[in-house]
């Protein structure tokens, strides 16, 4: 006679039992009378179910020789997006040793890098233009005393940019830095706040100098604010230019950004404004220098928009990956429970 408790117990393995390594062995009928044997039987069934699921999954393609750990590297993805046909024809050698043309194409496709480089270049143009032409501008246009102008601008230029660089770098570090795409977008958002402070200062300099009379003290105060908030951009933008490119391309990106910075800032500020001042007067030339800060702010704004797009895409990928992992884990548990209950 079979009692109700005996009927609810786990069924014995008849004629066949599953060994620990997943093989089937024929030892005859073996009843699981003790709880430890019953738990071991269930563990073997779960292990067998997991092995069956792993066998059903598609096998991942192995990386070709010499391409170990390179498939997911950023330089490969960037170059593959720009030179997909060339990489497919040339093979692994072109991935491991990209040509300068391929690297330049990859940098040109990185909009955050391009806009940040131009923003830093025009910011240097404004700072260097003020440094080259402010003394001539104040002495010729407003007949200020040369010694007073020199002393005033020496004080402004020796304090404002340095304090601005310390302040900008400290604020960016406290906000989390720019090592991730979210960090780059957050840092450029902070720089946009600095730009909103520098823009009115530049506008006030232009408005203050519209008439024939202009106070040197007011002019120096607005110049100090412009150089302070402009200097707050320098350290963060320099770091962002390095962080937004793959490590393999940072030497080239640094060289390109320095080239852009020197051509726009250190060459055109004295040379281009000098030509404009000879043809139209030093007042118009200096106003062009100050107005160039608006171009720097515009490129900083464009860089921020592109960084926000990339950060949004990165967050979406993380969410999809997390949902996929949860779905895969749930499916594994469900299949295992079904096999155990059968």
Q: Which tens digit of pLDDT belongs to each residue from 100-137?
A: 888 899 899 999 999 999 999 999 999 999 999 999 99
Tokens coding 68: 């170990």
* The most confident of 40-49, 93-102, 111-120, 306-315, by mean pLDDT: 111-120
* The most confident of 4-8, 13-17, 50-54, by mean pLDDT: 50-54
Digit-coded pLDDT (tens) for 211-221: 556 788 889 99
The reply to whether 48 and 87 lie within a common domain is: no
Task: Classify 64 as helix, strand or coil.
Answer: coil
The domain tally of the chain equals: 3
The reply to whether 87 and 173 lie within a common domain is: no
Digit-coded pLDDT (tens) for 166-223: 999 999 999 989 989 999 999 999 999 999 999 898 988 888 776 556 788 889 999 9
User: Does 266 have pLDDT greater than 90?
Assistant: yes
CA–CA distance, 55 with 44 (Å, rounded to integer): 16
Tokens coding 254: 């640094």
Q: Is residue 177 part of a domain?
A: yes
Say which residue, 48 or 298, is predicted with more confidence.
298
Q: Is residue 61 part of a domain?
A: no
Q: Is residue 52 part of a domain?
A: yes
DSSP letter string, 275-298: HHHHHH-HHHHHHHHHHHHHHHHH
The reply to whether 264 and 149 lie within a common domain is: yes
The reply to whether 88 and 150 lie within a common domain is: no
The reply to whether 27 and 97 lie within a common domain is: no
Q: Strand locations in the chain, DSSP E?
A: 17-18, 24-25
CATH number at residue 230: 1.20.1250.20
Q: What is the Cα 42 distance to its own chain's centre?
A: 49
The reply to whether 204 and 259 lie within a common domain is: yes
Sign of CA dihedral 316, 104, 189, 291: negative
- Is the Cβ–Cβ distance between 256 and 117 less than 8 Å? yes
Identify the band that residue 336 occupies on the pLDDT scale cut at 50, 70 and 90: low
- Over range 265-283, report the average pLDDT: 93
Residue-level pLDDT at 2: 45
Instruction: Give, in order, the Cα–Cα distances in Å from 241 to each of 112, 213, 246, 303, 309.
Output: 8, 42, 11, 11, 17
Q: Is residue 23 part of a domain?
A: yes
User: Does 71 have pLDDT greater than 50?
Assistant: no
User: Does 48 have pLDDT greater than 90?
Assistant: no
Tokens coding 172: 């960016």
Residue-level pLDDT at 223: 93
Residue-level pLDDT at 103: 87
Identify the band that residue 39 occupies on the pLDDT scale cut at 50, 70 and 90: confident
Digit-coded pLDDT (tens) for 139-148: 998 889 999 9
Q: Is residue 326 part of a domain?
A: no
Q: Is residue 332 part of a domain?
A: no
Q: Which domain holds residue 175?
A: 110-321
Residue-level pLDDT at 339: 53
C-alpha Rg value of the chain to the nearest Å: 34
Tokens coding 149: 């102008």
Predicted structure pTM score: 0.67
Say which residue, 20 or 316, is predicted with more confidence.
316
The reply to whether 23 and 77 lie within a common domain is: no
The reply to whether 10 and 20 lie within a common domain is: yes
């Amino acid at each position: 006679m079979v009692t109700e408790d005996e009927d609810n117990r786990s069924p014995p393995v008849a004629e066949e039992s599953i060994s620990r390594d997943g093989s089937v062995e024929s030892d005859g009928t073996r009843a699981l009378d003790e709880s430890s044997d019953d738990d071991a039987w269930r563990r073997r069934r779960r292990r067998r179910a997991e092995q069956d699921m792993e066998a059903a999954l598609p096998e991942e393609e192995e990386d070709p020789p010499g391409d170990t750990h390179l498939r997911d590297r950023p330089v490969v993805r960037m170059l593959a997006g720009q030179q997909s046909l060339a990489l497919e024809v040339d093979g692994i050698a072109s991935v491991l040793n990209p040509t300068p043309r391929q690297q330049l194409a990859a940098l040109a496709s990185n909009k955050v890098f391009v806009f940040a480089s131009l923003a830093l270049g025009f910011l240097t143009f404004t700072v260097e233009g003020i440094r080259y032409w402010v003394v001539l501008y104040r002495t010729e246009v407003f007949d200020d005393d040369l010694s007073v102008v020199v002393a005033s601008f020496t004080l402004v230029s020796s304090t404002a940019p340095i304090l601005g660089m310390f302040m900008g770098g400290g604020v960016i570090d406290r906000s989390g830095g720019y090592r991730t795409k979210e960090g780059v977008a957050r840092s450029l958002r902070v720089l946009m706040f600095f730009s909103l402070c520098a823009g009115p200062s530049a506008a006030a300099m232009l408005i203050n100098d519209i008439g024939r009379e202009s106070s040197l003290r007011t002019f120096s105060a607005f110049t100090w604010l412009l150089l302070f908030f402009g200097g707050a951009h320098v350290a963060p933008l320099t770091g962002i230019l390095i962080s937004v490119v793959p490590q393999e391309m940072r030497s080239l990106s640094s060289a390109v950004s320095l080239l852009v910075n020197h051509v726009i800032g250190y060459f055109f500020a004295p040379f281009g404004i000098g030509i404009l001042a000879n043809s139209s007067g030093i007042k118009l030339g200096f106003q062009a220098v100050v107005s160039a800060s608006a171009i720097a702010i515009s490129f900083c704004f464009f860089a921020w928009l592109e960084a926000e797009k990339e950060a949004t895409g990165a967050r979406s990928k993380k969410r999809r990956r997390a949902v996929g992992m949860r779905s895969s884990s749930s499916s594994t548990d469900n299949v295992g429970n079904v096999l155990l209950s059968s």
